[in-house]
Amino acid sequence: MSAKEQQPDNRPLNGVRILDIGTALAGPFGGTLLGEFGAEVIKIEHPTGDLLRKAPPLYQGSSLFWAVEGRNKKSITLNLSKPQAQQLLKELVRVSDVVIENYQPGTLEKWNLGYEELQKYNEEIILTRVSGFGQSGPYSSRPGFDSVGMAMGGLTYLTGYPDSPPVRPGPAVCDYFTGTLNALGTMIALYHRDAKKGKGQWLDVSLYETIFRISEYTAAAYDKLGVIRERSGSRHASVAPSGNFRTKDEQWVVLIPAGDAIFGRLMRAMGREDLIGNPRFDSMGKRLENAPEIQAIVASWVGQHTLEEVCSILNQAEVPVSKLYNIQDIFEDPHYQERGNLIEIDDPGVGRVRVQGVTPRLAGTPGGVVRPAPTLGQHNEEIYCGLLGYPPEELTRLKEEGVI
């Protein structure tokens, strides 16, 4: 499905204008999500460009990362360290609904762009503030990136195998989840302002807190039981058997038979009905106590069958199972194809390229990708001249002076 084929005309956030003055991912991803559902997102970049524009991998000198996450935005340039640029931003605030930023706390105040100042230009403005450690507290002034947020939030410590060092959990989970929560918080603030006839407000979203929030039961277990949760490899810490298992043909599958009923279905599918009532395995607690034994039994069975056999047998038995997909598997999978999870966009830097589609899916007012990632400053004239009313010659002067 191409971007053109899925262009919607009734996206639910049409009419909402967002100024994205952040950089990289944790702040801007919130704007990306809201842009997919109709918000007009104006990406405000330093004249040298957002660092994501230079992030590898590159194709013919252009970032594939930027092609994915810069979509549905307009780009203007503005050097916010200059007083005249700060005034231009305030003029944009006057005609906007939301500002999203992810500078170190205190940076906006240093530029005279703090929330109280912005409210002088628009009392209803919503300011979403994303940072590594929050806007308050002893660590608030520290720089923070995705890996630091995952480390302090407790995720990295839990990732890996018990007898091995902690490892990074793959993609930029912290940045993406923080971006998702900043979009959620922004929507809540907009709803309060517009549907509840409330006021504008500012939001405090931090990297470490988003990770800590999804750390399951670790806080309660430490508080009540004194238990420090440790790494459990691919096995779910609360479910045994579970995890990644190697098949006869050297492929990998994941199994997660959570609950006694599914465990029973797994044992019957394996031809091991004798284990269903075995006192070592007849409850979740007992299976966890004897996890090494039951893990080995399942691993042995999986290892005697091919990937196709394992998935066929267990899907028929209604036991949750999946091959461990790489990106080639995703591109070739009929379920991905049927649901249009890969869409094709015509990016000015990399050409036609397939990227992730939009989620969640709204039945009545679906989102969509209606514009590719913009070139740097592509919309300067549209925004400065069209929206703010500056004459073209003023735009030339601002560029010569390094303001835009």
What are 74-116's pLDDT values in tens digits? 999 999 999 999 999 999 999 999 999 999 999 999 999 999 9
Q: Residue 2 — very low, low, confident or very high, per pLDDT cuts 50/70/90? A: very low
Checking if the pLDDT of 293 tops 60, the result is yes
pLDDT of residue 4 exceeding 50: no
What pLDDT is recorded for position 9? 64
- The confidence score (pLDDT) of residue 6 equals 45
Domains and CATH numbers, the chain: 4-214+340-400 (3.40.50.10540), 243-332 (3.30.1540.10)
User: How large is the average pLDDT for residues 18-46?
Assistant: 98
Mean pLDDT score across all residues of the chain: 96
What is the reported pLDDT for 49? 97
Radius of gyration of the chain (CA): 25
Question: 3-state DSSP helix/strand/coil percent for the chain, to nearest 5?
Answer: 40, 15, 45
pLDDT score for 7: 52
Active-site residues, by number, are 175
Show the tokens assigned to 64: 């594939």
pLDDT at residue number 231: 96
Name the percent of the chain lying above pLDDT 90.
96
The per-residue pLDDT for 90 is 98
Q: What is the pLDDT of residue 1?
A: 39
> Could you count the other beta carbons within 10 Å of the beta carbon of residue 120?
11
The stretches of 195-326 forming alpha helices (DSSP H) are 207-213, 218-225, 260-269, 284-289, 291-303, 307-316
Cα 26 to chain centroid, rounded: 8
Strands 126-131 and 98-101: parallel
Question: SS3 of 4, please?
Answer: helix
Q: What span, in angstroms and rounded, lies between the C-alpha atoms of 267 and 265?
A: 5
The residue-averaged pLDDT of 145-170 equals 96
